[in-house]
Amino acid sequence: MGAPIDDAQGKTRRSWVLRLVLSYSRKGYSEAVSRQDTETFLRCLENGLRSFGGVPLLLNLDNFKAAVLKADWFDPEINPKLADFCRHYGIHVVPCRPGTPQHKGKVERGIAYVRSNALKGRRFKSLSEENLFLSHWESCVADKRIHGMTRKQVMACFQEERPHLQPLPNSLFPTYQEARRNVHRDSYVEVGRAFYEVPTEFIGHQVWVRWDSRCVRVFNERMEQVQIHTRVEPGRFSRVLGVGGLHAPVLGSCRYWISRAGVLGEECGQWAQGAFDTRGVQALRSIMGLCDLIKQHSASAINNACAKALKAGTYRFKDLRRLIGQQTEQTVFTFADNHPLIRDLTVYSNFINQFHSHEQHS
């Protein structure tokens, strides 16, 4: 946590300080910020690397949400934006074990040093004023101290360490925003009140969208780019709809889901195609429902139900579910009839009658 900031309106707010510390020399970089989101973190991280004039091989950090989506000692889930940043700069991310800040003790001690030496008892009028002070403090105080562990001056050690840092890339990491978006039934996603087309196979699913002032990029769950668009004004679409209007993307979606149904079996594919031929694009949700049945029923059960529906000439999803339900009931009763351990009731009746007859003769 940084120092208090007294703004022009007389309000006091607290700043946050991000501190980077090089492992060998303990050379540090400190920057005060007002937010702790991913974009702010990456900007500070980039500023720190540029101030060092080079890039280390490893980045050891806490498991805060701006950097690590899911903490795991063996297989952490790194924020995709941080992963892209590290690929740009050639850094490998190594998060600490959750709840063990001592794994990055050099940084923890460095943060305590900033609080007790640089910021203790100080107040500032703005973030820029605090950052100017921190920059002066780093060069005039922190860099010139004799470190208690190495017993050497920090700047002298940094001069030894600097040649071993990786060179900086030629360009800065591109600034962009990102978020998940639901793909609407017309195969478009919304970004900044404008609409951008996505391949029809993603209808009903979520995609990752990254955008800046120039373009919009769409990624699947494996972070593979599936579409790119130039930014358009709010209220506009990325593609001018032709004579087909919104009908054209829906037709493409129907073809996709019919092919998905065909993977389940021949009867399923025939039923999906028949539903489309009979009802047109109104059958889209019925075909999607057919494909979703695989989550609860076997492919053979679904194909048997489709075969019966084809024979009856019905192409409603509710009829398909009814036929599958009838199959389930029949399966239960058939199991009871054919199971070797379950006998017919007449067998028990004859046994009881024989038992009573034997008692009477006795």
- Average of pLDDT values for 287-304? 89
In this structure, what DSSP letter does residue 141 have? I
pLDDT of residue 132: 93
Answer whether residue 243 shows pLDDT above 70. Answer: no
pLDDT of residue 7: 76
The rounded distance, in Å, linking the Cα atoms of 127 and 320 is 64
Nearest of 151, 156, 118 to residue 137 by alpha carbon: 118
Answer whether residue 329 shows pLDDT above 60. Answer: no
Mean pLDDT check: name the lowest of 107-116, 161-170, 174-183, 338-347: 338-347
Answer whether residue 332 shows pLDDT above 50. Answer: no
∠ Cα 191 71 102 (to 5°): 130
pLDDT of residue 208: 92
Both tokens of 232, joined, read 């358009």
Higher-confidence position of 254 and 8: 254
Mean pLDDT check: name the lowest of 68-82, 130-144, 290-304: 68-82
User: In which band, very low, low, confident or very high, does the pLDDT at 345 lie, cut at 50, 70 and 90?
Assistant: low
Give me the amino acid identity at 269. G
Please, what is the average pLDDT of the chain? 83
The rounded distance, in Å, linking the Cα atoms of 323 and 218 is 40
User: In which band, very low, low, confident or very high, does the pLDDT at 266 lie, cut at 50, 70 and 90?
Assistant: very high
Instruction: Provide the CA 6 distance to its chain's centre, in angstroms.
Output: 38
Give Cα separations from 75 to 71, 97, 224, 324 (angstroms).
8, 11, 20, 41
User: Does the predicted model carry a pTM greater than 0.75?
Assistant: no
pLDDT (tens digit, 9 = 90+) per residue, 104-155?
A: 666 677 778 888 888 888 888 888 999 999 999 999 998 898 887 778 899 9
Neighbours of 325 (CB within 10 A): 12
- Average of pLDDT values for 55-76? 85
User: In which band, very low, low, confident or very high, does the pLDDT at 29 lie, cut at 50, 70 and 90?
Assistant: very high
Question: How much of the chain, in percent, has pLDDT values that exceed 90?
Answer: 29
